[in-house]
């Protein structure tokens, strides 16, 4: 061992430099994440209103209820003409020219001037809005006048208490599309929300081909008076983006003047954010004045009494995961729907108390505080530190090769030097691409090194059929510690490469997960074949002492003698029912965990119940495949090698690489997840996995000894 360290001292020193650089980056990121450990809940008024209509209580009761439950903010959407027509039946009517002209006597029912408007263009998608309320007419008219672009031709008339607004689009949007343009907040509703003690969060929806500069300026002018801490707009582009080159600067000024923060809304698939044109320019230019928000999609609202729960506990779990694991620090709270329904709401206040109280309890256990959320301070590790991380990864890759093959000292230095120069040049030529390459490279090099070292050490250690089971288990635990340390370094190196604020907000995402899973597995297969098969036949590849090593191996085999061959042969293992069952179980578990991605949609109900159980018992749930599959297989690998079993070491080793080594790195590649949370997750998974692995080894060794005893009795007559 001393000789090995001496021969690789330069590589180990460079790896240490990389580890130090990683530590500096990770500490800086942890500080930034710790300063932002808060979350907030924003209540959706539209959904609340629908639920209240189905309940025995009015909207004022429910506003008071949620205020008493601790909610301090309510989001109210701007209204548009179409929604007014739906809500104000008898006061507002909206019709397209096509529908209007299909009615008998339509011309005589309208003032001559209005009929002329309808006939003037021949466009059947023009819109006509009729008001039996003059106040509503003035509200809608003012909204269109302040927000429309030159592409909208609008005529209006108020006659004998009846109002008429005609809309014709000359651009890409027709009159009926313009009728969906948000025209303002309903003052009576907004005042009622504020009177209940809430902070009002105004919301608007950007309609395609109507998002003019006038629209953006008018919306921001109206929103200013509420001094909302968040900007939660919706649609395909930021406010005023379509015809205004200065839209980004205008929105940044608005955020600065109001003290607001831009909200990035997570997509339905729980990855990245909804795409909004202009967002990728706005957020960096604003100094990353942004936070992620999670909205309760319908499938979340439908999760009442799911997975053996009696209430909204699974909804609480979904919200908790969004905040704690995906950095969505604003929860956009909608009401609970009956399972498999999109219209029927749960109206019992007890369940909403359970939902809010459960989320607050979960978050407080992790040290989060409830209140208005502020963006984390922008964080950008220096290129110099990233280059050092890259040099450490290069050294790990060269060390991997030297463990697998015998490489002269000079070649090691030359490879390290070439790799280090390449890393430095790459970061100056293409820094953004280099971040991803470095993350992939470090995430492959370190777990692959762990896998190859595992093969090398236990191949040279050899078999010992007489060794008791507990010393074998101890060897497995020590091997797992070394592997865990290397994988942990690789995980932190990968995370350090991508620890920019853009990745934390998931504006940028990690690519290459599948590639990182396959390469370490492929390298393990190659290493196993070389070390356990090729070298047994031909000696150490490129080794200077090939003949000596070959003779040593022959001597070991001679000492083991015929007894070993008779006791444990390939034929005996294959036909033994106990081993076959063990292989079948492990193979089935392996296929299941390797093939699936881990998203909730691809996970069985049983596992989700098991996950929820772990979350109740532990602070953070470890990854299931690590504790049930990956780390136990490390111990089983060591045990099967020491027992000189054929095939099984290969199976267990491959399972360990995928289920543990690669999984540790992948845990940290959920970049949005706080580093400390990932550390707790892999540590608990490792500890529980070892305990389960010990049980697996004891059971496997019991089966093995029973088989060998029975076989020996047959041979001895």
How many Å apart are CA 241 and CA 253, to the nearest integer?
Answer: 15
Residues 21 and 123 in one domain: no
* Domain hosting residue 315, numbered range: 37-78+184-370
**What's the CA dihedral at 355, 358, 362, 365 to 10 degrees?**
150
- Mean pLDDT of all residues in 692-707: 91
Q: Kindly tell me if the per-residue pLDDT of 590 is higher than 80.
A: no
State how far the Cα of 667 lies from the Cα of 487, in Å rounded to an integer.
11
What pLDDT is stored for residue 622 in this prediction? 81
Per-residue pLDDT, 615? 66
Report the pLDDT averaged over residues 291-311.
Answer: 91
Whole-number Cα distances in Å, 656 to 56, 479, 629, 653: 57, 12, 7, 5
Q: What's residue 553's pLDDT?
A: 46
Nearest to 132 by CA among 112, 159, 108, 161: 161
- When pLDDT is averaged across residues 705-714 and rounded to a whole number, the result is 80
**pLDDT at residue 1, rounded to an integer:** 63
Q: 193 and 169, same structural domain?
A: no
HEC secondary structure over 31-89? HHHHHCCEEEEEEEHHHHHHHHHHCCCCHHHHHHHHHHCCCCEEEEECECHHHHHHHCC
655: exposed, middle or buried (Cβ count in 10 Å: 0-12, 13-18, 19+): buried
Residues 238 and 92 in one domain: no
pLDDT at site 537: 67
In this predicted structure, the answer to whether residue 152 has a pLDDT above a threshold of 80 is yes
Q: Coil, strand, or helix at residue 339?
A: coil
* Helix orientation angle between 313-324 and 349-365, rounded to the nearest 10 degrees: 30
Number of domains in the chain: 3
Q: Kindly report the backbone phi and psi dihedral angles of residue 337, in degrees, each rounded to the nearest multiple of 5, phi listed first.
A: -95, 150
Distance of CA 260 to the CA centre of its chain: 25
Tell me: do 213 and 143 sit in the same domain.
no
Percent of the chain with pLDDT over 70: 87
Distances in Å between the alpha carbon of 579 and those of 469, 539, 591, 702, 709? 17, 31, 18, 11, 15
**Beta strand 290-295 with 328-333: parallel, antiparallel or unpaired?**
parallel
Q: Give the model's confidence band at 647: pLDDT under 50 very low, under 70 low, under 90 confident, else very high.
A: confident
Q: Which long-range contacts (CB under 8 A, 24 or more apart) does 429-434 make?
A: 431/383, 434/386, 434/390
User: Using one digit for the tens of pLDDT, what is the confidence trace for 3-56?
Assistant: 777 788 889 999 999 999 999 999 998 888 887 789 999 999 999 999 999 999
Residues 6 or more apart whose Cβ sits within 8 Å of residue 153: 167, 168, 169, 170
Model pLDDT for residues 323-364, shown as the tens digit of each residue: 988 889 999 999 999 998 999 999 999 999 999 999 999 899
Distances (CA, A) of 42 to 171, 293, 372, 673: 36, 10, 10, 22
What number is the average pLDDT over the span 253-269? 91
**Rounded Cα distance, 54 and 346, in Å:** 9
pTM for this predicted structure: 0.82
Query: Based on the domain organization, do 19 and 44 belong to the same domain?
Result: no
108-140 b/e with 16+ CB inside 10 Å = b?
Answer: eebeeebbebbeebebebbbbbbbebeebbebb
pLDDT band at 548 (very low <50, low <70, confident <90, very high): very low
| Mean pLDDT, residues 427-445 | 89
473 with 546, same domain: the answer is yes
Helix (DSSP H) and strand (DSSP E) numbers for the chain: 33, 14
DSSP-based three-state secondary structure for 237 = strand
List the single range of 81-90, 424-433, 593-602 with lowest mean pLDDT: 593-602
Instruction: Name the phi and psi angles at 345, rounded to 5.
Output: -105, 150
Report residue 663 CA to chain centroid gap. Answer: 15
Angle in degrees, 0-180, between the axes of helices 431-461 and 469-497, rounded to the nearest 10 = 170
Are residues 402 and 546 part of one domain?
yes
Q: The domain that contains 73 carries what CATH number?
A: 3.20.20
- Same domain assignment for residues 70 and 87: no
Q: Give the integer Cα–Cα distance in Å for 135 and 112.
A: 23
At which of 150, 178, 206 does a domain end? 178
Of 313, 347, 370, which one is at a domain's C-terminal end? Answer: 370
Given the structure tokens 């989320």, which residue do they identify? 359
* Number of other CB atoms surrounding residue 201 within 10 Å: 27
Residue carrying structure tokens 């193979």: 587
pLDDT tens readout for residues 382-412 = 999 999 999 999 999 999 998 888 888 888 8
Is residue 547 scored above 70 in pLDDT? no
Instruction: Report the chain's terminal Cα–Cα distance, integer Å.
Output: 45
Q: Tell me: pLDDT of 573 over 70.
A: no
Q: Are residues 286 and 361 in the same domain?
A: yes
Q: Are residues 610 and 462 in the same domain?
A: yes
- Output the six-digit token pair for 80: 């548009």
pLDDT at site 549: 47
Does 613 lie in the same domain as 639? Answer: yes
Work out the average pLDDT over 485-497.
93
Would you tell me how many other CB atoms lie within 10 Å of the CB of residue 714? 9
DSSP string, 618-636: SSSPPPHHIIIIIHHHHHH
Question: Which of these three, 158, 178, 198, is where a domain ends?
Answer: 178
| Predicted pLDDT of residue 138 | 95
pLDDT confidence tier of residue 616, bands split at 50, 70 and 90? low
Nearest Cα neighbor of 381 from 30, 13, 3, 108 is 30
pLDDT for 717: 57
Q: Are residues 99 and 195 in the same domain?
A: no
Cα angle for residues 82, 87, 93 (degrees, 5° grid): 55
């Amino acid at each position: 061992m001393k000789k090995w360290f001496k021969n690789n001292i330069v590589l180990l020193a460079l790896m240490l430099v990389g580890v130090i650089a990683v530590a500096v980056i990770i500490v800086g990121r942890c500080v930034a994440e710790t300063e932002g450990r808060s979350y907030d809940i924003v209540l959706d008024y539209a959904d609340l209103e629908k639920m209240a209509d189905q309940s025995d209580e009015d909207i004022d009761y429910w506003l008071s209820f949620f205020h008493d439950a601790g909610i301090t903010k309510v989001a109210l959407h701007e209204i548009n003409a179409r929604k007014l027509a739906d809500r104000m039946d008898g006061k507002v009517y909206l019709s397209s020219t096509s529908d209007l002209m299909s009615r008998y006597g339509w011309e005589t029912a309208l003032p001559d001037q209005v009929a002329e408007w309808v006939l003037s263009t021949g466009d059947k998608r023009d819109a006509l809005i009729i008001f039996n309320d003059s106040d509503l007419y003035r509200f809608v008219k003012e909204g269109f006048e302040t927000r429309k672009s030159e592409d909208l031709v609008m005529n209006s008339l108020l006659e004998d208490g009846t109002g008429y607004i005609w809309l014709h689009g000359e651009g890409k949007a027709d009159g009926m599309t313009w009728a969906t343009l948000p025209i303002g907040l309903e003052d009576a509703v907004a005042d009622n929300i504020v009177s209940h003690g809430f902070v009002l969060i105004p919301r608007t929806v950007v309609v395609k081909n109507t998002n003019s500069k006038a629209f953006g300026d008018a919306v921001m002018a109206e929103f200013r008076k509420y001094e909302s801490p968040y900007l939660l707009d919706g649609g395909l582009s930021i406010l005023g983006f379509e015809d205004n080159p200065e839209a980004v600067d205008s929105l940044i000024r608005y955020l600065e003047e109001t003290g607001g923060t831009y909200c990035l809304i997570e997509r339905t698939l729980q990855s990245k954010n909804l795409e909004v044109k202009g967002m990728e320019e706005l957020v960096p230019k604003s100094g990353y004045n942004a936070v992620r928000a999670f909205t309760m999609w319908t499938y979340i609202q439908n999760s009442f009494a799911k997975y053996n729960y009696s209430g909204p506990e699974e909804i609480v779990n979904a919200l908790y995961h969004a905040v704690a694991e995906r950095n969505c620090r604003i929860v956009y709270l909608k009401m609970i729907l009956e399972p498999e329904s999109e219209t029927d709401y749960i109206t019992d206040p007890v369940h909403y108390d359970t939902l809010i109280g459960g989320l607050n309890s979960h978050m407080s256990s992790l040290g989060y505080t409830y209140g208005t959320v502020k963006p984390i301070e922008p964080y950008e590790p220096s290129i110099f530190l990233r280059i050092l991380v890259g040099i450490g990864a290069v050294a790990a890759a060269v060390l991997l090769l030297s463990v697998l093959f015998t490489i002269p000292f000079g070649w090691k230095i030359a490879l390290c030097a070439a790799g280090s120069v390449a890393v430095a040049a790459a970061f100056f030529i293409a820094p953004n691409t280099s971040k991803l390459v470095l993350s992939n490279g470090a995430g492959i090099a370190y777990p692959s090194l762990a896998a190859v070292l595992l093969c090398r050490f236990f191949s040279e250690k050899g078999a010992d059929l007489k060794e008791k089971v507990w010393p074998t288990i101890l060897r497995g635990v020590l091997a797992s510690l070394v592997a865990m340390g290397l994988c942990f370094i690789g995980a932190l190196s990968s995370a350090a490469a991508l620890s920019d604020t853009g990745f934390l907000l998931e504006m940028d995402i990690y690519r290459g997960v599948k590639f990182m899973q396959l390469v370490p597995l492929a390298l393990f297969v190659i290493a196993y074949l070389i070390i356990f098969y090729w070298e047994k036949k031909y000696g150490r590849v490129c080794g200077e002492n090939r003949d000596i090593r070959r003779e040593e191996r022959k001597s070991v085999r001679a000492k083991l003698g015929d007894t070993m061959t008779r006791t444990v042969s390939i034929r005996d293992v294959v036909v033994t029912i106990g081993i076959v069952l063990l292989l079948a179980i492990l193979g089935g578990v392996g296929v299941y965990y390797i093939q699936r991605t881990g998203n909730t949609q691809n996970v069985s109900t049983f596992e989700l119940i098991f996950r929820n159980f772990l979350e109740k018992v532990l602070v953070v749930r470890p990854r299931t495949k690590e504790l049930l599959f990956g780390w136990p297989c490390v111990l089983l690998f060591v045990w099967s090698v020491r027992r000189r079993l054929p095939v099984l070491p290969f199976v267990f080793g491959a399972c360990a690489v995928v289920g543990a080594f690669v999984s540790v790195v992948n845990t940290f590649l959920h970049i949005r997840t706080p580093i400390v949370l990932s550390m707790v997750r892999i540590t608990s998974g490792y500890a529980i996995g070892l305990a389960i692995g010990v049980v697996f080894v004891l059971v496997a060794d019991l089966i093995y000894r029973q088989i060998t005893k029975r076989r020996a009795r047959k041979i001895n007559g």
